[in-house]
């Protein structure tokens, strides 16, 4: 009897996948307990990129921390900027001008397109469809070119600042965005032809990594991954911030909560983002692009070189910063990966007493074990891609 | 962000159900915060999740805060959200160094990693957590980095020549 067991059963082994593995995103290290090719338990081991961002924040002025947020989820830096500056503005009780709100919506949605494009491209690459990554990069390039036009940077943007945005939109930027809106639908159709109807693609994703709505909520999954399980929850709709309540857009939801649904959510969200941008560009009001409070907003850079008062103003802003009233706030936005929240405890000085980043990647990764248990090793690749983890964000 | 009648539900319901367990309640920028006794944390959380008017089914985050110099020294902050009711609430408990906080992982499994992060950064252990170990830092790491008495540059060792000497401190 014992002898027979030895022959039939395989020994359980532990496989280390990553942190340098071509098909894991960033420095994800997965400890896989396997019975043959079957996953018994998947345990992520994170922290390889931990930089102590929250500790650094405690020693910085409020406006000095904005560039650090770019380096969290560097695939869509605008959303990180937005989450942070909105939290500071909430703590100060600041209302920003309407034009700035519209510009922020456009910026955040452009970054959602850029983020989702990379997520979809990298996912397809992981499963062997290399051409989609090249297609996605082609379109992402257009978005990054627009970012360069807006603020001079492509990845680490630091475009949004407390009280508004850094530079105003001009005609050329609006034209470039309109061009993007024109070419994108055709390009998305290409994806649909190449990938979404592909039999191999469907087989690799359909029914893989299924998670029910109840389990997903219990495990605090958020963003497109949660909506794929059929939960209609989008912070842009349910707790509208900026001017999202003025736009007409849909929240796509899935039914099965598998990898294929999670892909389709992202694909559909790109289309919705384009709808929002189109309306925002059409309604873009005139006016100031930041608040009229000199302590919070520095003078325009060209004036600093010409005018003594502006130089003093600039110096004061950079070196002294501004005070935030005592109290604590939590402000959350719908980032491309899920709920991105910033919790600030202010003690009334120019530096945050405690700043906590509730990053979606970190929380979403908890579900990997639940999704991959009982599946095969090859499915883990699809599951990891379907959560779209970015480790700058996860490890903070 | 939530309308006024929501606030009254969030304030009154919890205060009425846990009259002697709620130490204080504040509303700041439209956000409701209850400071509760650590011993009552689990029953408060179960109430938040099951009450038909509150239905807090989503645990957004667990945060540690170090108020060095005050007693109790630490604060553990919970952010909950209700997907059906669309409102948020904040629950806080205060603990001293060396004390434990009851884990809420049996109520929301999603609190698992967040509680481990608090343990990793502040050294606050959660009682009843299935896997209470460090999450970001190495298992043999000494000290808890987000405590206010931990230097930003870290401590000096052979990998970190620019750190602060351990003896130099206090």
Question: Chain B within 8 Å of A86 (Cβ-Cβ)?
Answer: no
What pLDDT sits at residue A278?
Answer: 92
Half-sphere exposure of residue B94: CA atoms within 13 angstroms, side-chain side: 12
- Euclidean distance between CA atoms A346 and A327, whole angstroms: 5
Q: Where are the domains of chain B?
A: 3-127
Q: What is the ipTM of this complex?
A: 0.89
Contact B63 A356 (CB under 8 A): yes
Contact B86 A217 (CB under 8 A): no
Question: Chain B within 8 Å of A341 (Cβ-Cβ)?
Answer: yes
Contact B29 A91 (CB under 8 A): yes
Question: Chain B within 8 Å of A363 (Cβ-Cβ)?
Answer: yes
As a CATH number, domain B3-127 is 3.30.460.80
What pLDDT sits at residue A336?
Answer: 92
Q: B1 CA to chain A: closest CA distance, Å?
A: 7
Contact B110 A358 (CB under 8 A): no
- Euclidean distance between CA atoms B89 and A65, whole angstroms: 27
What pLDDT sits at residue A129?
Answer: 83
Beta strands in chain B (DSSP E): 22-28, 31-36, 58-66, 74-82, 87-95, 100-102, 125-127
Ranges under pLDDT 70 in chain B:
1-7, 167-170
- CA-to-CA dists, residue A322 to A85, A311, A353, angstroms: 13, 17, 14
- Residue of chain A whose alpha carbon sits nearest to that of B3: A239
What pLDDT sits at residue B3?
Answer: 43
| Nearest beta carbon to residue A46 from set B59, B60, B136 | B136
DSSP bridge partners of A357: A342
Interface contacts (A, B; CB < 8 Å):
96
Q: A70 CA to chain B: closest CA distance, Å?
A: 20
What pLDDT sits at residue B1?
Answer: 43
- Euclidean distance between CA atoms A75 and A134, whole angstroms: 16
Contact B61 A366 (CB under 8 A): no
Q: Which residues of B touch A354 (CB under 8 A)?
A: 63, 65-66
pLDDT mean values, one per 10 residues, chain A (396 residues): 56 83 76 88 89 91 91 88 93 91 93 92 87 90 92 89 89 92 90 85 89 91 92 90 90 90 92 92 90 87 88 90 91 92 92 92 91 89 89 87
Q: Where are the domains of chain A?
A: 53-395
* H/E element, B103: none
On whether the CB atoms of residues B2 and B87 are closer than 8 A, the answer is: yes
Question: Chain B within 8 Å of A217 (Cβ-Cβ)?
Answer: yes
Q: Which residues of B touch A328 (CB under 8 A)?
A: 28, 31, 33, 77, 90
Question: Chain B within 8 Å of A376 (Cβ-Cβ)?
Answer: no
Q: B80 CA to chain A: closest CA distance, Å?
A: 10
What pLDDT sits at residue A6?
Answer: 53
Half-sphere exposure of residue A101: CA atoms within 13 angstroms, side-chain side: 16
Give chain B's contact residues with A (Cβ, < 8 Å).
1-2, 28-29, 31, 33, 57-61, 63, 65-66, 77, 79, 83, 86, 88, 90, 108-114, 117, 121, 135-138, 145-146, 150, 152
What pLDDT sits at residue B7?
Answer: 66
**Domain A53-395 classified CATH 1.10.645.10?**
yes
What pLDDT sits at residue A13?
Answer: 87
On whether the CB atoms of residues A87 and A331 are closer than 8 A, the answer is: yes
User: Got the DSSP string for B52-98?
Assistant: TTT---EEEEEEEEE-TTSSS-EEEEEEEEETTTTEEEEEEEEE-TT
Q: B85 CA to chain A: closest CA distance, Å?
A: 10
On whether the CB atoms of residues A359 and A72 are closer than 8 A, the answer is: yes
- Euclidean distance between CA atoms B99 and A279, whole angstroms: 54
Q: B144 CA to chain A: closest CA distance, Å?
A: 11
What pLDDT sits at residue B117?
Answer: 93
What pLDDT sits at residue A8?
Answer: 57
The structure tokens listed for A367 are 């579900």
What pLDDT sits at residue A99?
Answer: 92
């Amino acid at each position: 009897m014992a002898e027979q067991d030895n022959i039939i059963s395989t020994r359980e082994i532990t496989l280390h996948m990553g942190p340098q593995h071509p098909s894991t995103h960033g420095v994800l290290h997965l400890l896989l307990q396997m019975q043959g090719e079957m996953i018994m338990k998947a345990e992520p081991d994170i922290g390889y990129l931990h930089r102590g961002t929250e500790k650094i924040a405690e020693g910085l002025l409020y406006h000095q921390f904005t560039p650090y947020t770019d380096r969290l989820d560097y695939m869509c830096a605008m959303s990180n900027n937005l989450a942070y500056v909105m939290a500071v503005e909430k703590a100060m009780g600041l209302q920003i001008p309407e034009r700035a709100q519209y510009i922020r919506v456009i910026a955040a949605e452009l970054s959602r397109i850029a983020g989702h494009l990379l997520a979809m491209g990298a996912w397809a690459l992981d499963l062997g469809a290399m051409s989609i990554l090249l297609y996605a990069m082609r379109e992402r390039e257009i978005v990054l070119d627009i970012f360069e036009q807006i603020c001079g940077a492509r990845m680490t943007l630091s475009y949004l600042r407390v009280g508004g945005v850094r530079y105003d939109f001009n005609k050329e930027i609006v034209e470039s965005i309109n061009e993007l809106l024109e070419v994108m639908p055709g390009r998305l159709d290409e994806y649909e032809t190449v990938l979404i109807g592909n039999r191999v693609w469907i087989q690799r994703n359909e029914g893989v990594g299924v998670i029910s709505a109840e389990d997903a909520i219990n495990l605090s999954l958020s963003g497109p991954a949660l909506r794929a399980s059929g939960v209609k929850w989008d912070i842009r709709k349910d707790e509208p911030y900026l001017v999202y309540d003025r736009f007409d857009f849909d929240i796509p939801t899935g039914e099965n909560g598998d990898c294929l649904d999670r892909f389709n959510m992202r694909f559909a969200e790109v289309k919705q983002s384009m709808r929002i941008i189109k309306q925002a560009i059409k309604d873009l009001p005139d006016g100031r692009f930041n608040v009229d409070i000199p302590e919070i907003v520095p003078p325009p850079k060209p004036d600093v070189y010409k005018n003594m008062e502006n130089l003093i103003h600039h110096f004061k802003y950079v070196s002294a910063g501004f005070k935030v009233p005592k109290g604590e706030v939590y402000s959350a936005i719908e980032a491309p990966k899920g709920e991105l929240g910033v919790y600030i405890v202010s003690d009334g000085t120019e530096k945050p007493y405690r700043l906590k980043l509730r990053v979606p990647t970190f929380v979403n990764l908890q579900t990997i074990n639940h999704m991959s248990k009982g599946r095969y090793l090859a499915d883990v690749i699809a599951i990891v891609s379907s959560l779209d983890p970015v480790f700058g964000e996860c490890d903070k | 962000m939530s309308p006024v009648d929501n606030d009254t539900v969030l304030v009154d319901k919890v205060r009425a159900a846990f009259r002697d367990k709620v130490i204080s309640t504040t509303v700041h920028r439209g956000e409701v915060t209850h400071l509760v006794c650590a011993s009552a944390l689990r029953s408060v959380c179960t109430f938040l999740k099951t009450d038909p008017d509150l239905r807090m089914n989503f645990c957004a985050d667990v945060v540690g805060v170090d108020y060095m110099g005050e007693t109790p020294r630490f604060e553990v902050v919970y952010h909950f959200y209700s997907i059906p009711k669309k409102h948020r609430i904040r629950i806080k408990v205060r603990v001293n160094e060396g004390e434990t906080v009851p884990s809420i992982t049996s109520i929301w499994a999603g609190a698992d990693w967040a509680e481990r992060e608090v343990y990793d950064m502040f050294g606050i252990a959660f009682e009843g957590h299935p896997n209470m170990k460090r999450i970001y830092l190495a298992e043999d790491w000494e000290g808890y980095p987000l405590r206010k008495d931990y230097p930003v540059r870290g401590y000096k060792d052979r990998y970190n020549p620019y750190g602060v000497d351990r003896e130099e401190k206090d």
